[in-house]
Structure 1
Amino acid sequence: MNSVYQFIKENHMLAVIELAQNRKAFTLNLSRFEIKEIPDLVTTCNTLMKLYLDHNEIIKLPDNIINLTRLHTLTLDYNCLKEFPLVVCELTGLKYLNLSCNEINTLPPQIGHLTSLQVFWCNNTNLQHIPEEIGNCELIETFGARGNEIKKLPESIGLLKKLSWLTLENNQIDSLPEAFVALNKLAHLNLKRNQLKEIPKQISELKKLQYCFLNCNQINNVDIDSLDKYNLIKLIDLEDNPIDATVKDLALLKCKNISFENKDSNQTSTTQNDDSDDEDVSDWENSIDTSDIDTNEETGDEHDPEDISMFIPALAKYITTFN
């Protein structure tokens, strides 16, 4: 029965790829096909903009994946990668990349070649550090590297001027670099379960910051006199830190937006958009699995304005101008 099942599954996958090739599709979804290698046929689908390969058993990417020059979305989370696939760094048009839940413990300097990157997830990969070259990816808006072994952030993180969402929960960070103050658009910061011993002073300089999660650290004191600097932040979560009860009481009197209790533990936001006025919008990606971060689309020939633009020159010869 297993061999029959495997035969049917492999042939179904090939049919899906061939259909995408024949239709010149923009999206190809090969999630959960239990594949260990990416079929060569995939790399001939040169119209692809979105390629979903998550939840498989892939151990290596083929070199000819660079043929997919239009690719801007690539998901490789929940695979069996043992190192960062360097060939990905040649896909310089990538805007969305998810490498979470692989055994990748380093990001190469070549990550800086992905200058179009806007969303980057590398959660639960045993990542030990983030290279300085990440500063070349100046368009990043969302960056997630939780569940790793990161101890320090590079000074170059301050070059990510568009960064609005940063989650570094469950690492070993004990301080923030001075350049962190340059993150003028950062609205959401998750440093839960790290090794901070005080509220980082850089946080008070972040004018757009709305949600700051510092719970489950080693913060044992709060400078009451400096709390006025944090009044524009909607929520500073300090739950499960070894802070004296008297200090907590004084802090709550001074700054109403500080929380020592997990008020949002039962709330799950389904969107990353912080544009609403809902005071209870919280750490959406912290309350769902990494896999649910992706919005996997079925293979099809969806023609949004961005996608169809590639065919406008080819269609031009059919346009007739009437006077």
Structure 2
Amino acid sequence: MNPVYDFIQRNRVLAIVEKAQSSNARSIILEDFDLIQFPLVILNCQCLNYLNISHNNISELPHDIVQLKNLQHLSLEYNNFTSFPKVLKNLPQLISINLSHNPMKDLSSDLGYLLSLETLWCNSCCLTQLPDEIGNLKKLETFGARHNKINKIPDTIGGMQNLKWLTFEDNSLYTVPPSFAELQSLIHLNLSKNNFSYIPTEISKIKALRYLHLQNNELFTVPDKTVTDMPHVKIYLQNNPLQPDNERIFPNVIITGRENDILDLVAQDSDSSSDDWDNSVDSSDINYSGSESEESDIEEVLSNIPKLSKYIIPS
């Protein structure tokens, strides 16, 4: 990295964090600052509730991050974590974590210590499996694991009784465990772009379910009994090798139509609410930012530091 550019970036970070510390700010956003290490000065911000250090090149978190006793929301997406940061188990107060777009192959059993967790994103992380301890997350409501290589869901997932929004889109799944039927709070389930050749009967037993996405799988027929048991569920089956007359027989089964129309269908449905699952947007589009006043403070700090980086040619 160009030393002048590095100097400017480090001082911009320092100015933002010092401003947050002096004002007892509850949020800090250090997105896309070309950081390769976690800025230790952040540990002085004891009031911190939300921390966003996404779009950097950080590969580990300091053990002293445990000092941030008030931290509840943490965004680590688009960094260089090759494994689940084990130090996070010492922050049991965390409510939401975004780990998406990191080259991780597993989530580690330490995930099971985060008993307050309500939202977990781990899209595009090279995951091949999930730990059994994921069932310990009794308060989890939103779980996103798109674009991984997961081929099996642990049976312990049935313990996630508060789960409402779940996506395993673009993995290698072909079945679900028996305990899947215990996810009785689940409203939105996305299993598109997997290897399902049938609709698991466990899914039909989820009474709260309203949206089931199974596009781009390997279904050749629509099982009469399973679909009959789910008259209240919109079932999306685009891009499966199905017979087109199934759409006439089952009005809640959608076989034709553009895939981009799906979000519109969800938004228009009378059973959906404005709060439901952020309309299935990618994790990088979810807004975890702090209050407008805190954001304006950050902009004020940045405006006092010359942004010379655009004039610098990296060496």
SS state at 1:157 partner: helix
* Distance change in 2, residues 1:94/1:268 (3 Å): same
Q: Is the Cα contact below 8 Å between 1:274 and 1:281 reproduced in 2?
A: no
Matched, 1:252 2:251: no
Matched, 1:108 2:108: yes
5+ residue gaps, structure 2: 296-315
Structure 2 counterpart of 1:236: 235
Whole-Å separation in 2 of the counterparts to 1:258 and 1:183: 22
- Runs of 4+, deviation exceeding 6 Å: 272-275, 279-283
Whole-Å separation in 2 of the counterparts to 1:139 and 1:55: 28
Q: Is the Cα contact below 8 Å between 1:165 and 1:189 reproduced in 2?
A: yes
State how 1:197-216 maps to structure 2 within 5 Å. 197-216=197-216
5+ residue gaps, structure 1: 303-323
Structure 2 counterpart of 1:310: none
State the TM-score, normalizing by the size of structure 1: 0.84
Question: What is the RMSD computed on CA atoms of the aligned residues?
Answer: 2.6
Matched, 1:224 2:224: yes
Structure 1 counterpart of 2:8: 8
Q: Is the Cα contact below 8 Å between 1:20 and 1:300 reproduced in 2?
A: no
Q: Is the Cα contact below 8 Å between 2:127 and 2:148 reproduced in 1?
A: yes
- Residues 16-66 of structure 1: CA distance to partner in whole angstroms, max 9, x if unpaired? 101111111111111111101112111121111111111111011111111
Structure 2 counterpart of 1:261: 256
* Distance change in 2, residues 1:277/1:197 (3 Å): closer
Whole-Å separation in 2 of the counterparts to 1:275 and 1:51: 35
* Displacement of 1:83: 1.2
Structure 1 counterpart of 2:159: 159
SS state at 2:217 partner: coil
* Distance change in 2, residues 1:181/1:274 (3 Å): farther
- Residues 97-144 of structure 1: CA distance to partner in whole angstroms, max 9, x if unpaired? 000000111111111100000000000000111111111110000000
* Distance change in 2, residues 1:134/1:279 (3 Å): closer
Q: Is the Cα contact below 8 Å between 1:24 and 1:301 reproduced in 2?
A: no
Whole-Å separation in 2 of the counterparts to 1:282 and 1:24: 32
Aligned residues: 294
Find 2:289's aligned residue among 296, 303, 321. 296
Letter in 1 for 2:198: E
State the TM-score, normalizing by the size of structure 2: 0.86
Whole-Å separation in 2 of the counterparts to 1:51 and 1:13: 13
